Structure 1
Amino acid sequence: MQLTINIRKKLEESANGYFEKAKKARKKIEGARIVIKKFNGQLEELERKQQIEEEKITERKEKTPLEWYEKFRWFITSEGFLCIGGRDSTTNEVIVKKHADPTDVIFHTEMPGSPFFVIKTNGKTPNETSLQEAADATTLFSRAWKLGLGTAEVYCVKPEQVSKKAPSGEYLTKGAFMISGKRTYFTGTVNAAVGKLDNGKIMCGPQNAIKTNCKEFSLIAEGKDKPSDCAKKIAKHLKADVDDVLRVLPAGTCKII
């Protein structure tokens, strides 16, 4: 390192000048170190946040395998009973014919275009709360939603009362059944929520059942928003996959309340 000395100045004066310059340079270096340290800290924080987001995305992509009942409408009552319902005439037929056991309870509305819902009792007796929730779900996923109705008349029967035997000269279309014997009636209400179970599955059903089974949920109602738009908002709130939410929403427009 070479230093230029002004011969017109005293040696001491020149030395002091270089000393002051050295002090200023040292301060600049220290300042630069502080800035670099701060920048590195911010960079580490950004990398940490990015890693967290990537882990969340990975977690969402690692979906749990679909259960057999997820091809249908389904929810779990606040009492813990699994309820399954038809999405169309084909699944209505499948549910009643293949998945309604003798001790189960079958629900249907009086209006056309209604799903059949079945409470899977496993030999136990559901209480009034579960029965009402099943009636509400039958209403929720019926045409009552699209028509903007608040209630619908729903009845329940035993599986033995449901058959494909049409009266002489008549024909039962796919998904339609003859009901015989006494019916128990309920006033089904259109109230709905979408929630996330502890196992990560997304469930849609009556609000009481969703609130009981899910820590995180969104209340929904018939509205003017596209199902896809609602699904995106709900998925963001529940940290869930949009397709999983969209699959469980009632058919028709909706809104978050």
Structure 2
Amino acid sequence: MKIELFIDKSLEENAQEYYERAKKAKKKLTGAKQALEETRKKANLELKKKEASALKSKLVTLEKSRKKEWYEKFRWFLSSDNFLVIGGRDASTNEIVVKKHMDQDDLVYHTDAPGSPFVIIKNPDKKEIPKETKEEAACFAATFSKAWDLGIKRVEVFEVDPEQVSKQAKSGEYISKGAFMVQGKRTHYTPVLSLAVGYFNEPSSPGLKVIMSGPESAVKKKCEKSISLTQGDLKKGDVAKLLMKKFDLASNESILSCLPSGKFSVKK
């Protein structure tokens, strides 16, 4: 190895010159290594972002393509005793729920509060419907009426048999879409509004989550993870985004569709 010496400098000065050059070169090398490491980190971060975005897009597609059960077009939940409970989302679906899905051994719940759904406990096996399921169905009817939006805590709900519900109006009266005539004896409930949102895994598609909302008692029992809500100041869209993050979902559409109108707060 050849070393160039400066003839106008002493041996010690030449040594000092090369020592200083070596220090500068080392600094440059260290800086280059740091810059390279930062570049690698940024590249890895960008790659992870792209992978996360691709995964999120795939999950959104999977969630949307999941074959839904017939009752998911309505409001619904599974009771603590494993009965399916369904209700209308609006006047049109109230009509469908009563006309197409109300059977002889079911029970029907409704309230005179505006915007109340007709709620039905489905009973295809003709079992005796337990008290807890009845109370949950009454609570469901109250929670998804306008009472939530108005900040009302309790609403009177009545229970009747299917044969007491008809579209037959009294003479000179008109029954609007989504409304029905209810005749005969009623069983009354006055539930406190109660709402929780949770999820359970889709049995046929591992990794996909089915969102369910309903009375706190039922949701906590049936769902793997749930969050209870009360009336509050959070807008519907904001609470849906919050729950989306808590449940690690790709989108908040399924949560938005299962909330009543109004504002919310997360129950502590």
The bucket for the TM-score relative to the shorter chain is 0.7 to 0.9
| Superposed CA RMSD | 3.0
Residue by residue over 1:117-167, the C-alpha shift from the partner in whole angstroms, topping out at 9 and shown as x without a partner, is 011222133322211111100000112223322112222222222222233
Residue by residue over 1:88-145, the C-alpha shift from the partner in whole angstroms, topping out at 9 and shown as x without a partner, is 2221111011011222221112434421001122213332221111110000011222
| CA shift in 2, pair 1:26/1:126, >3 Å | farther
Q: 1:149 aligns with which of 137, 146, 152?
A: 152
SS of 2:93's equivalent in the other structure is helix
- Give the percent of matched residue pairs that are identical in Structure 1 and Structure 2: 39
Q: TM-score, normalised by structure 1?
A: 0.83
Q: 2:194 aligns with which of 184, 191, 211?
A: 191
Q: 1:219 aligns with which of 213, 224, 228?
A: 228
Q: Partner letter of residue 103 of structure 1? A: D
Compare 243-252 and 224-233 and name the one that shifted more. 224-233
Structure 1 residues 100-139: aligned runs within 5 Å: 100-123=102-125, 124-139=127-142
Q: 2:87 aligns with which of 69, 76, 85?
A: 85
Q: Which runs of 5+ in 1 are unaligned?
A: none
SS of 1:223's equivalent in the other structure is strand
| CA shift in 2, pair 1:143/1:28, >3 Å | closer
Q: 1:5 matched to which residue of 2?
A: 5
Q: Partner letter of residue 215 of structure 2? A: P
Alignment of 1:208 onto 2:210: no
Q: Partner letter of residue 42 of structure 1? A: K
Residue by residue over 1:179-222, the C-alpha shift from the partner in whole angstroms, topping out at 9 and shown as x without a partner, is 33433322222111222332323222111222222233332222
Q: 1:24 matched to which residue of 2?
A: 23
Measured after TM superposition, the shift of residue 168 of structure 1 is 3.8
| CA shift in 2, pair 1:6/1:114, >3 Å | closer
Q: 2:101 aligns with which of 99, 102, 110?
A: 99
Residues 138 and 188, structure 1, Cα contact 8 Å, conserved in 2: no
Q: 1:162 matched to which residue of 2?
A: 165
| CA shift in 2, pair 1:31/1:129, >3 Å | same
Residues 6 and 14, structure 2, Cα contact 8 Å, conserved in 1: no
Residues 138 and 158, structure 2, Cα contact 8 Å, conserved in 1: yes
Q: Partner letter of residue 6 of structure 1? A: F
CA distance in 2, matches of 1:37, 1:213: 51
Q: 2:244 matched to which residue of 1?
A: 235
Residues 108 and 155, structure 1, Cα contact 8 Å, conserved in 2: yes
Runs of 4+ in 1 over 6 A off after TM superposition: none
CA distance in 2, matches of 1:45, 1:128: 57
Residues 135 and 155, structure 1, Cα contact 8 Å, conserved in 2: yes
CA distance in 1, matches of 2:76, 2:31: 62
CA distance in 2, matches of 1:24, 1:118: 82
Q: Partner letter of residue 50 of structure 1? A: K
Measured after TM superposition, the shift of residue 5 of structure 1 is 2.5
* Alignment coverage as a number of residue pairs: 256
Residues 5 and 14, structure 1, Cα contact 8 Å, conserved in 2: no
Q: Partner letter of residue 83 of structure 2? A: F
Q: 2:206 matched to which residue of 1?
A: none
| CA shift in 2, pair 1:157/1:56, >3 Å | same
Residue by residue over 1:18-64, the C-alpha shift from the partner in whole angstroms, topping out at 9 and shown as x without a partner, is 76357536634652464256335523652464255322343134322
Residues 76 and 82, structure 1, Cα contact 8 Å, conserved in 2: yes
